[in-house]
Amino acid sequence: MSNIGLQVRQTVPSIDHIVAEYATGYIQHVSKATEDIVSAQHINIDEEMGFIKELLINAGGVETKVSGLIKSLTEQLSTKLQDNMSKLEITGDTSKRLLDVNLLQSNSKRDINTSLALLGATHDIEHTGRKMESRVDKKKLEKQERKIAKKVAKRNNKFVEYEASKLLNSKKEDDYDSFFLEINPLDFGSSAGKSKDIKLENFDLYVGDGKRILSESTLTLAYGRRYGLVGQNGIGKSTLLRALSKRELNVPKHITILHVEQEIRGDDTTAIQSVLDADVWRKSLLQEEQKLGERISEIEALRAQFDEDSNEVKKLDNEREDLDAHLQEVSDKLYDMESDKAESRAAGILYGLGFTKESQGYPTKQFSGGWRMRLSLARALFCQPDLLLLDEPSNMLDVPSITFLANYLQGYKSTVLVVSHDRSFLNDVATDIIHQHSERLDYYRGSNFDSFYATKEERIKNQRREYDNQMAYRKHLQEFIDKFRYNAAKSSEAQSRIKKLEKLPMLEAPEDEKAVTFKFPDPDNVSPPILQLQNVTFGYEPTKILINNVDLDVQMNSRIAFCGGNGTGKTTLLKLLMGQLSPLDGMVSKNGRLRIGYFAQHHVDAMDLELSAVTWMSQTFPGKTDEDYRRHLGSFGITGSLGLQKMELLSGGQKSRVAFAALCLNQPHILILDEPSNHLDTQGLDALAEALNNFAGGILMVSHDVTIIDRVCNEIWISEDNTVKHFPGNIHDYKKHILAAADIAGVVRKH
């Protein structure tokens, strides 16, 4: 097998030297594998050479010449394999051997289940034959193959989609386990003593087609602190979280990261098992422990078949020694992560997020999107990563679950970075605030949201004052320079001022955040009774009652918030009030002149996103001119060209504003709002709260946002135990009630 490199270059003269070296090294590796007693039993010469043939053809080789070389190599390697196997049968292999991972590999072919994957090793060649490591620099190989693709395209005078080396194309379709281990490789070495603080300096971050969202920024996260990341909608907060979660920013490798962004996929896995499986380290270590135990048992059985002094027994003893050492490492790692307490901890987290003991055993495919999002959150809390990234976690949660989550995070020992517009949640959770704006990150250390909001205004005033003073000073210097620059008597003074001007730091003018306004039109008067429920009972099936014997009276000055767990009938109650559902028993009465404006939680489903806001409103609520619709949209912050763009281009908060504008077109007497705060940023929430307080009609609201409930509502009604009843206190009293109930159950206290 001499001169392999020369044969490859002669067969494919145009081959890039990096690819040639790679192909040569691969063939030599296969040749050496034929001499190894274990590798020789697993190697498939035809498949290995088939891969090399495909590689050389893609690198620009002529198929007939490449086929001739491959045929010759296949014959040589096959002959060598047969000869070596014959010799090995006689002499045996007396060398000390480490555990060969292929002996432990399962039929699933998932590399996370192998010892090498657990040790952080990479397998860059993956096919049906032997897995072999390569020392080729992937970045260089990728660069060279891009060049080859261009050469092939140029030669054929057309764009050709070049198939890259399997070394680069070996990544499987991402699943959670493989992605988790790729981002958080399991290291059996100790990370004790390594700092888990994060400091990323002078980085730029882009989104989409080169739009820059951060410029020369510094991100500093101290271990054990909980950071609230705030800023206007569309400023790039979620993009920053995704860049951190994929290690697109240079986060130290020993820091584990987990990002809660999307709901899990539903399948037959139970909810509790889904949470347990989220800790891929624990799952993989348990699988490895089982496989190591099985192999040790096999060795004991095999050992009894040979004489004590035979070569076979020596080989088995060597392997057993390595297996015992690795098994001890696995056991120590499982002990450190308290694997034996995993199930009780997972059950406690699920219970706190609203999953009953019964529902924890349901398959995940039975849960709706909102409940699957809760499962994703539970999985993240269970894993306890060093850096936990949460993107609007409260959007899919009810008040009890948000209260539990906030209380849980207050005792979280690692670092948390959370994007949220829920002021109360940030007040409860955040130890520091990071304000993202103007392509920069400003830090408010030791601040919750309220103190940040107060400090921010003062900081902006100081920045503007400093900017204005410097601009006035610059103008004064420049006027003197322009006047006396060419005056012989004053030229030295002019030069002095030029140097002063050059030394002044460049200050950027503070950006004025655009004001957002909402305005609900005042309705005409109607005489009571306005809207009443009298002894109302309802269930979607007569045998399954959802709410029972409810009495409720809504007046023009009502400010009512409905609270309770998801699935307890809050939205159902709203539909009964609007007449969309009929009660099984009792009566719903309302004034004949009453007009109701309804904001649905999933309001986007009712919109044609291919249309502009003006066109959609004119088609859905006809009778006015386009100018009237634009003026009306403007009162909810949809100004200028926003009303004429396709709604699919609008942010979630902007779509919500369109929905608010639409519900007010008939000048309603009563506003019924189902989760109105979702997708709105801080300014939008402020504008909404102010507009609701100024509204002359009645308000009924289902919301998880404690702040907006506290600012708008003066009555709390809770839905629990198959009924809806008035709660004697405000929303903060209700949160204390929830935590007290959780303490009695032992959920918060224990976990």
pLDDT recorded at residue 99: 42
- Cis, bond preceding 185 (omega within 30 deg of 0): no
pLDDT recorded at residue 527: 84
Helices (H), 485-556: 491-503
Query: What's at 25, amino acid-wise?
Result: G
What's the alpha-carbon Rg for the chain, to the nearest Å? 34
The DSSP bridge partners found for residue 717 are 562, 726
pLDDT recorded at residue 485: 81
* CA angle, 65 then 70 then 72, to 5°: 100
pLDDT recorded at residue 411: 87
Edge-first strand order for the sheet with 257-260 is: 257-260, 387-391, 415-419, 226-230, 432-437, 440-444
Residue 442 and residue 435 in contact, taking contact as beta carbons nearer than 8 Å: yes
Residue 683 and residue 516 in contact, taking contact as beta carbons nearer than 8 Å: yes
Query: What's at 534, amino acid-wise?
Result: Q
Residue 115 and residue 99 in contact, taking contact as beta carbons nearer than 8 Å: yes
For the chain, 751 residues long, the average pLDDT of each consecutive 10-residue run is 76 82 85 76 83 86 87 87 71 46 40 41 42 60 68 48 41 56 66 81 81 88 94 83 88 86 73 83 80 85 80 83 84 74 85 84 78 81 87 78 84 91 89 90 89 82 84 88 83 85 76 71 87 90 87 91 82 87 91 90 81 91 90 85 85 83 89 86 85 92 88 90 88 84 48 33
Core vs surface per residue 301-324: b (16+ CB within 10 A) or e: eeeeeeeeeeeebbbbeebbeebe
Q: CB within 8 A of 505, min separation 6: which ones?
A: none
Hey, how many other C-beta atoms are within 10 angstroms of the C-beta on 70? 21
Angle between helix axes 369-383 and 342-352 (nearest 10 degrees) is 140
pLDDT recorded at residue 152: 59
Helices (H), 485-584: 491-503, 570-578
Is the pTM here over 0.85, yes or no?
no
pLDDT recorded at residue 199: 93
| 531-750: CATH superfamily | P-loop containing nucleotide triphosphate hydrolases (3.40.50.300)
The ranges assigned to domains in the chain are 4-97+137-172, 531-750
Distance between CA 552 and CA 563 in Å, rounded?
A: 15
Distance between CA 251 and CA 644 in Å, rounded?
A: 42
Tally the residues of the chain.
751
Q: Which segments within 118-274 are labelled E, that is strand?
A: 198-207, 211-221, 226-230, 257-260
Three-state secondary-structure class, residue 309: coil
